[in-house]
Structure 1
Amino acid sequence: MSSPYRILLAAGASALLLTGCNDSSSSSDAAPAPGTEQPGNPDPVVVPAPSAEQPPEFIVRPYLQAPGSDTMTVMFETENTQPQVWVRPFGSSDEFQKIDAGVHSEDGLVYRAVMSGLESNRLYEYYVLTNDAGGVGRVTQAFAFKTWPDASDDVEQARFIAISDTQLDREIYEVVLNNVVTDGFMTEECNGTQPETCAENIAAITISGDVVQTGGNRSNWRDQLFGRMADITPYVPLITVPGNHDYYSNAELELYRTYMSPPENGSVGYEDHWYFIDYLDLRLIGLDSYPISGAHGSFNRETLAVQRQWLRETLLDAEIQQKTFVMGMFHHGCLSEMWNVGESIGSCEMVSELEKYSDRTGAVTGHFFGHTHSYSRGQSLNTPHLWLNAASASGYIEPLDNADHQNNQISDYDTFEVSRSEFGYSVLTYRFGADASVTLQRKKGGYDGDTEFEVVDEVTFASKRNDNLPQATAGTGELPATDIQLAVNVGAPEQVHEVQWQISENEQFEGVVFDVWGNETRRHNLFYDEATQVGGDEYQGYEAIDTQQGADIFRLNLSELLSLKTVRPGGDDYYRWNKRFASQNTHVSSYDAYGGQPRPTLGLKPGTTYYWRARVRDSQMNWSSWSEGYSFSLAGTRTPNLLTNGDAEAGDLSAWTLSSGLVSAITANNNGGFGAAEGDYYFAGRGFGQGLPGDCCTDSAFQQVDISSYGQDIDAGKVYLDLSAQMTTWSADDIPELRIELRDANDQPLAWNQSPERTSASIKSWETQSIEGFLPAGVRSVVVHIGGERKAGNDNDVYFDNVSLSLLY
C-alpha cells in the first residue's frame, strides 16, 4: 500500500546477552532472559490495525452482501480512489487479507470487494482504506462480520430478521426505519454499543422488495435505504429481492443491480433477479415477482416459465441435499388480506412449488413477501408452510379505519391467522438437528413513541407426530337442513390449534370434497372490525380484533356457516387462481385443478346423504390422522332428468331448439372413431358430415323446462337445482359452453348467485361439469343451452353427452 497510510509496525528486536570470561555460570544452566527469542520458538508477529487521521468520504457506508461459509462481500460508494478492504479474524493481531475493491457501477462510484478463503463460523474485523483527492490515505473504524457455518461447526441455531417495504413514500415516516434499526435491531437483537454483537447474533436481514421508493432515483438508494440502515449494514448482510418500486424509472433494474450483489446462481441472463443461498440446512430462495404479476407488475409469460423452471430445479437440488427448511422470498403476495389488488397468480405458482417440496420431503417451507403494508401471518392447509407478509418497515401502513379501503381491498382469508396493519419487523429462529424447528416472532414498532418492539405474535413450525385423533359427538343420522351441527372431541383438547372438516357426497371422500378450515375453525383469528370501530392510527398502527374469542372450535354449525360464506374444495385455493381485479388475472394457471372453471360450492341438498370427517392440528402445525367417516342425511326427493333427449340417443336434435348455426347428434363414425361418453350418440357443432352453415362461428341449441309446479317450494327456498353435462373437445381449440337461464312466470330472466356457465378444455376425454344451487324465489322455468364457438378448422369440436337437469326438494 502507498505511503500515505501511517501503519504502526511493531519492531520485534532481540537482545543478545553476552557472557563475560570470568563468569563461572555454565551457559547450559543459565535461564533465558525475559523477552529473549528462543531458537525454534519465535515470538508471534503483531500486525497493528491500519490507521489514518480521517475516515474515507463515503456516499454509502460499507454494507455486506452474498454471505457464505468461506466468503463475504463488502460494498460501498465513494469518490475516493484506490479502495481496499483489509480483513482478519476479529480481535487478532494476524496478518490482513487485503482485497482491492472493484468498480461495480458505470460511474465508478460503487465498489465491491469479495473476500474468499475465509474460515467458517468465524467473526472477522475489516477496514476500508481509500485515498482522497489529495492523495491522503483514509481508513475506517473497525467493522465486523461473521461467516456462516458449515456442517462441521455444529451450529445449532441461527436468527434472521425479515422486513419489507423499506421505501420512504411519506416524509412523516422517515423516522420509522431509523427506529427499527436503532431501537429494534441494535437494542433488542444485539448491543448497539458493541456492534460486532450484531454480526454474532443476526445471520442476515431479508428485505422482500420495495427496497426504495423509486428504483431509478439514486438519492433514494443512498438516503432512504443505506442512509437509514447505516448503523447495522456494516455488520449484518442484506438479502433482498426487487419490488415494483425498485423497477420504477429503472426498468432494467440498473440501480438495483448496481447496489445489490446476490450469488450468481440464477437462470442465465437473470442472475440478479433470482438466486438461492444456503445456511446449513436452510435454503433461502430469492425470486422476482414483478415480471410475473399483472397489477403493479409487468407480466411476461416467458419470464414466468423460465423462473418457474429454475425454481423447480433449485428445489430438486435442495431435496438432493436434504434441506430441512426452504424459504422463498418475493414481493407480490399470492394472497394478501389487507390489500387484495397486491396479489399475483404468478406468485401463487411459486408458493405451490414450495408447498410441493414440503409434500415430498416433510420439510418446513415458507415464503416472505411484502407489497401490502401490513403484517400478516398464516399457514398452508395441507403442508407445514409459513406465509409471512414481512411489511412494513417504512412504507405507509394500510388504512383499516377507511371504509372504502375495507369495502374494496380486504379479505379475511382462511390461510391467514393474524393480520395487523402496523410497523415492525419479524425474527425467525431456525434450529437445526434432530429437533429441527423454526420460530417466528413479530415485534411491533417503528414510529416515534412506539419503539418498545413488543412481541405481538409468535408461532413455531416443528415436525412431530400428532396422535390426537378426533371422534364424533354430533352430526350423524337424519338432520334438518336448518340445524346441521358437527362436533368432535379429542383426548388432549388443549393441544389443538385448529380443526379441519371435510364434507363429501362420496363415502370414500373421492371426487368433490369440500374443505371447512381456517377463520372459524382455529383458536384465534386476528382481523379487523368494520372501519368505524377500528382503533389506532397511521402512526402507532390499527388495532385488530380476535374474531374467534371464546369460540368452540370442536363444534361446527354448518348451516349457519353456509349462510355466511361460500365453501369450496381446497379452501382458499380458489382465490389463488381467481383474483378480485381483472388486471390480476393474467392467465389460467396450470396449477388450478379446475382450469379456470367455477368450483363447486357446498349446498345442503334435500334428499342427500353427506359424509364427513375431521382432523386436528397442534400448535406446531402438525396434523393428526383423519377421523373415521361419519354421515348425516337430509330428507327430500330428487326428480328424474327433466330434459328430454339429454343423451342424444334419439339420434337427432329432438326436444332441443336450434338457436345458432348447427348442432347435430353424431357417432364415432362421424368423428374419427371418437365415441360417446355413454351409448352411441353425442351432440357436436357444425361439420362432421352434417353441414356447414354460412354464418360464423357459434353453434347452439336450447331446451326450456317448465318447473312452475314446484313454485311454492321454490319461493320458500327449498328447491335445489342440479344441472350437469359431460363435455370435451378434439384439441381444446374450440370452446364448448354449458349455460343456464332462470325465467320468471313472464318469461323474464332472473339473477342467480351461481355462475351460469361452464366450459371445458378437455381433449378427447369426457369430463363432467355441473351448475347447481338453491333456486331464488320467482323461478318458473329453466333454459338449458349447449353449444360453443369454432376457433379453428372446419368442424366445431364442441361435444356434449348426458346433459341432465334435476330438482331436489
Structure 2
Amino acid sequence: MNDFFKKPILLFGVIVCLVSLQAQSQELEIAPYLQDAEPNEITIKWQTDTGEESVVEYGLSPKLGKKASGKSFGINFSKAILHEVRLSKLKRFTTYYYRVKTGKTKSDIFEFKTPPFSQDNKKFNLLAMSDMQRDWQYPDKFSEVVNGGIIPYMEKNYGKKLPDHLAMILIPGDLVVNGEVFDQWENEFFKPAAKIFNQVPVYPAIGNHEKNSQFYFDYFSLPQNGSAAHPEHWWYKDYSNVRIIGLDSNDGYKDSPLQINWLENLLQETGKNENIDFVFAELHHPHKSELWIPGEEEFSAKVVSLLENFTQKTGKPSIHFFGHTHGYSRGQSKDHKHLMVNVASAGGAIDNWGEFEGRDYEEFTVTQDEYGFVILEVEADQKNPKFTLKRISQGNYADGLRDNEIRDSITIFKNPIKPQAPESISPNNETLPINGVVLKAGTFQSKSQKTFHAASNWQVATDPGFEKPVINSWKQFENWYYKENRQKNDDLSDEKLHRLAPNTTYYWRVRYRDQNLNWSDWSKIQTFKTQGKAD
C-alpha cells in the first residue's frame, strides 16, 4: 500500500486512540451522595467531568451482584455531567452496599440503610446543621465540623457504622456562598462532607445564598410532594414516627399562598395520621433571632404559629429548625410543646455577641455564638414516644474552640406527665401597698422523679376569669444571653410585682412547667387588695 493510503489510516487510528483514552479518563468530581430515601427506594447522584453512563452496582454484601441504570445530563453548560439512579424494590430497614460506575470510572464501595415503615416504631437519629457557606478567614471550617466533629462524635457515642446510627441530614439553608457559582458546589459543599453524604441521605431547605439557582435544583432530588407549580421548594418526608417538612422562606416564595395553603392542609392530614408522633420543619430564616434582629422574617412567624396550633390541637410536639443567624439558639413556645432551634453555624462566619442588633426574647433560654451541629435522638415507643435534642459545640475562635462538647439538651415526650398544681401561698386576702407585692408559691412536685422545675407562669388580673390579665409573667430556669445566665439565682417560686393600681382587688394564680415542657394545672386562685395610696 502506498503512503497516500497509509496516512489517513494512521490518522484515523490516532483519533480512535484519543477518543478511547478520553472515554477511559472520566474523573469522579463529586462522590456519590444519597437523596430521597424510602423504605423500598433511594436515589444516588454523582458528578463526572465526562461520560454519560450512569450505573449503580449494589447488593446486600460488598460483593454487590445487582445493578441499575439511570440518567445523566450536562450541567454548567455541559462542562460536567451529573448522574442520577433510582434504586427500587429494596428491603426496608436494610443495609445495602453500592458503588457508582461511569465508563471505566468506579467509586469505592459505600453503604446505606433503607428507612423503616412508619408503623415499624423504630428509633433513629438525625443530624441538623446549617450555614456552612465558606468563611474566607477560616475556609476549612465546614470540613472540620464534618470530619473533626460529626464523624468522630457519631463513632464515639453510637458506633462505627454511620448508616446504622444516622438516618438523615437536615440543612436549613446557605449551603454555599453564592449558589450561582458552579465550582462552589463541588469544592465547598460536597467535597468537605463526602464521607457522610455517601452514607446518609441529605435534605436541604433552600437559603438566600443559594439565590434560587438552577444548580441547587439540579444537585438535589427532593420529594415531589409539594405544590406542582414550585417543585422542591416545599416538600415532606416521613421517617418512622416523624414527619419532616421542608419550606422556602426566601423572596419570591415566602409570600406564595400556595405554600401556606399546602402547609395548612399537610398539617391537617398529619394530625389524623396515627403513625406520626412528631413534626420537624426546616426553613432558613428565623422568626426571632437574639443575635441578629435584622435577619428575622415575618413568613417564618406565620409558620411557627401554624406549628403551634397544630401541636395544641393534636398533642403532637413539633420543632422548626432554622439558620441565617450564625450561632446556636434554642427556645420553646410558652403554651405549646414546640421548639425553635437555630442549628448554625457549620462553617459560616460567626455572628458574635454585640456585633449586630440583638434582643433577649422570653422564648429563648440558650443562645451561643459558636460553631456546631445538632443531633436528634428519636424513640418511637408505643407507650410514650420521645425525642432528645443535643447541641454539639465546637466553640469559636474568640473564646476558644471546643471538642464536641454538649452545650445544650432537652427531651420532649409526646404524652405529658404533668407536674402537680403548685400551692399559691401568699398574698391571700390581704391588703397591701401598690409597690413591692411579692407572689409566693410552694415547691415544685411531680410524679415523675426525673423532672425539675423549669418555668413558672404568673398571672394577675382584676377579674377572677383572667380574661385580660394585667400581668402575665413567664420565667424560665435559665436564660443564657450575651454569655451570662440572667436567671441564675431565680428559683421560680416567687414573683415581685411592680407598681399596681391603688384601691383595687386583684386575683392571682401560677402554674409550673417541667424541663420536658409539661405544664401543671393552675394553682388555686388567691386574691388581695391594694391600699388607696403608696407608702
TM-score (normalised: structure 1): 0.59
- Cα contact 2:121–2:240 (8 A) shared by 1: no
Report the counterpart of residue 611 of structure 1 in structure 2: 507
Does 2:181 correspond to 1:185?
A: no
Does 2:376 correspond to 1:432?
A: no
Counterpart of 1:139 (choices 100, 106, 129) is 106
Report the counterpart of residue 549 of structure 1 in structure 2: 488
- Cα contact 1:65–1:72 (8 A) shared by 2: yes
Give runs of aligned pairs for residues 717-732 of structure 1, distance below 5 A.
none
Q: Which moved more, 1:501-510 or 1:266-275?
A: 501-510
Does 2:241 correspond to 1:281?
A: yes
Per-residue displacement from partner, 1:504-527 (whole Å, max 9, x unpaired)? 22211124564211xxx2221111
Does 2:178 correspond to 1:227?
A: no
| Counterpart AA for 1:510 | E
Report the counterpart of residue 265 of structure 1 in structure 2: 225
- Cα contact 1:85–1:126 (8 A) shared by 2: no
Does 2:394 correspond to 1:445?
A: yes
Give runs of aligned pairs for residues 556-635 of structure 1, distance below 5 A.
556-559=495-498, 604-635=500-531
| Counterpart AA for 1:443 | I
* CA distance in structure 1 between the aligned counterparts of 2:316 and 2:57, rounded to whole angstroms: 37
* CA distance in structure 1 between the aligned counterparts of 2:426 and 2:343, rounded to whole angstroms: 41
Label 1:141 to 1:210 Cα distance change in 2 as closer, same or farther (>3 A): same
| Counterpart AA for 1:186 | I
| Counterpart AA for 2:185 | W
Report the counterpart of residue 478 of structure 2 in structure 1: 524
Report the counterpart of residue 333 of structure 1 in structure 2: 286
Displacement of 1:312: 0.6
Label 1:300 to 1:232 Cα distance change in 2 as closer, same or farther (>3 A): closer
Does 2:129 correspond to 1:163?
A: yes
| Counterpart AA for 1:190 | E
In the alignment, structure 1 segments of 5+ residues that lack a partner are 1-53, 132-136, 292-297, 529-543, 560-602, 638-717, 719-808
Displacement of 1:300: 6.0
Per-residue displacement from partner, 1:324-350 (whole Å, max 9, x unpaired)? 000111011011111111111111110
* CA distance in structure 1 between the aligned counterparts of 2:155 and 2:376, rounded to whole angstroms: 15
Label 1:185 to 1:415 Cα distance change in 2 as closer, same or farther (>3 A): same
- Cα contact 2:226–2:232 (8 A) shared by 1: yes
Give runs of aligned pairs for residues 648-667 of structure 1, distance below 5 A.
none
- Cα contact 2:421–2:522 (8 A) shared by 1: yes
* CA distance in structure 2 between the aligned counterparts of 1:55 and 1:459, rounded to whole angstroms: 51
- Cα contact 2:59–2:97 (8 A) shared by 1: yes
Displacement of 1:130: 0.8
Counterpart of 1:205 (choices 147, 159, 169) is 169
* CA distance in structure 2 between the aligned counterparts of 1:635 and 1:202, rounded to whole angstroms: 63
Displacement of 1:90: 3.6
The percent identity for this pair of structures is 30
| Counterpart AA for 1:497 | A
Label 1:514 to 1:306 Cα distance change in 2 as closer, same or farther (>3 A): farther
- Cα contact 2:205–2:282 (8 A) shared by 1: yes
**SS of residue paired to 1:77:** strand
* CA distance in structure 2 between the aligned counterparts of 1:199 and 1:69, rounded to whole angstroms: 14
Runs of 4+ residues over 6 Å off in structure 1: 446-449
Give runs of aligned pairs for residues 64-79 of structure 1, distance below 5 A.
64-79=34-49
Does 2:52 correspond to 1:82?
A: yes
* CA distance in structure 2 between the aligned counterparts of 1:472 and 1:55, rounded to whole angstroms: 78
Report the counterpart of residue 495 of structure 1 in structure 2: 452
Report the counterpart of residue 367 of structure 1 in structure 2: 320
Report the counterpart of residue 19 of structure 2 in structure 1: none
| Counterpart AA for 1:264 | Q
In the alignment, structure 2 segments of 5+ residues that lack a partner are 1-23
Label 1:104 to 1:618 Cα distance change in 2 as closer, same or farther (>3 A): farther
* CA distance in structure 1 between the aligned counterparts of 2:473 and 2:231, rounded to whole angstroms: 42
- Cα contact 1:430–1:437 (8 A) shared by 2: yes
* CA distance in structure 1 between the aligned counterparts of 2:244 and 2:147, rounded to whole angstroms: 26
Does 2:152 correspond to 1:256?
A: no
**SS of residue paired to 2:532:** coil
Displacement of 1:103: 2.7
| Counterpart AA for 1:199 | P
- Cα contact 2:54–2:83 (8 A) shared by 1: no
* CA distance in structure 2 between the aligned counterparts of 1:283 and 1:454, rounded to whole angstroms: 28
- Cα contact 1:90–1:144 (8 A) shared by 2: no
Does 2:389 correspond to 1:389?
A: no
**SS of residue paired to 1:173:** coil
Report the counterpart of residue 3 of structure 2 in structure 1: none
**SS of residue paired to 2:52:** strand
Does 2:259 correspond to 1:307?
A: yes
| Counterpart AA for 2:91 | E
Structure number with greater CO (CA < 8 Å, separation at least 6) is: 2
* CA distance in structure 2 between the aligned counterparts of 1:621 and 1:338, rounded to whole angstroms: 24
Does 2:58 correspond to 1:101?
A: no
Label 1:149 to 1:55 Cα distance change in 2 as closer, same or farther (>3 A): farther
TM-score (normalised: structure 2): 0.88
- Cα contact 2:173–2:324 (8 A) shared by 1: yes
* CA distance in structure 2 between the aligned counterparts of 1:189 and 1:226, rounded to whole angstroms: 20
- Cα contact 1:67–1:148 (8 A) shared by 2: yes
* CA distance in structure 1 between the aligned counterparts of 2:321 and 2:372, rounded to whole angstroms: 14
Per-residue displacement from partner, 1:638-686 (whole Å, max 9, x unpaired)? xxxxxxxxxxxxxxxxxxxxxxxxxxxxxxxxxxxxxxxxxxxxxxxxx
| Counterpart AA for 1:468 | Q
- Cα contact 2:456–2:493 (8 A) shared by 1: yes
Report the counterpart of residue 85 of structure 2 in structure 1: 113
Report the counterpart of residue 474 of structure 1 in structure 2: 426
| Counterpart AA for 2:213 | L
**SS of residue paired to 1:190:** helix
* CA distance in structure 2 between the aligned counterparts of 1:111 and 1:92, rounded to whole angstroms: 22
Displacement of 1:211: 1.2
* CA distance in structure 2 between the aligned counterparts of 1:525 and 1:552, rounded to whole angstroms: 13
Label 1:626 to 1:86 Cα distance change in 2 as closer, same or farther (>3 A): same
| Counterpart AA for 1:173 | Y
**SS of residue paired to 1:326:** strand
Displacement of 1:186: 1.2
**SS of residue paired to 2:519:** coil
| Counterpart AA for 2:202 | L
- Cα contact 2:68–2:85 (8 A) shared by 1: no
Displacement of 1:379: 0.8
Report the counterpart of residue 8 of structure 2 in structure 1: none
- Cα contact 1:207–1:239 (8 A) shared by 2: yes
Displacement of 1:55: 9.0
- Cα contact 1:214–1:246 (8 A) shared by 2: yes
Displacement of 1:222: 1.4
- Cα contact 2:419–2:445 (8 A) shared by 1: no
Displacement of 1:69: 1.1
| Counterpart AA for 2:292 | W
Label 1:554 to 1:456 Cα distance change in 2 as closer, same or farther (>3 A): same
Label 1:451 to 1:68 Cα distance change in 2 as closer, same or farther (>3 A): farther
Q: Which structure's CA Rg is the greater one?
A: 1
Label 1:328 to 1:242 Cα distance change in 2 as closer, same or farther (>3 A): same
Per-residue displacement from partner, 1:449-492 (whole Å, max 9, x unpaired)? 83510111111011322142111122332221221111111352
**SS of residue paired to 2:132:** coil
- Cα contact 1:173–1:447 (8 A) shared by 2: no
Label 1:82 to 1:200 Cα distance change in 2 as closer, same or farther (>3 A): same
| Counterpart AA for 2:341 | L
Report the counterpart of residue 6 of structure 2 in structure 1: none
Q: How much is the aligned-residue C-alpha RMSD, in angstroms?
A: 2.4
- Cα contact 1:180–1:446 (8 A) shared by 2: no
Report the counterpart of residue 139 of structure 2 in structure 1: 174
Report the counterpart of residue 458 of structure 1 in structure 2: 409
* CA distance in structure 2 between the aligned counterparts of 1:491 and 1:275, rounded to whole angstroms: 42
* CA distance in structure 1 between the aligned counterparts of 2:470 and 2:244, rounded to whole angstroms: 34
Counterpart of 1:421 (choices 357, 360, 369) is 369
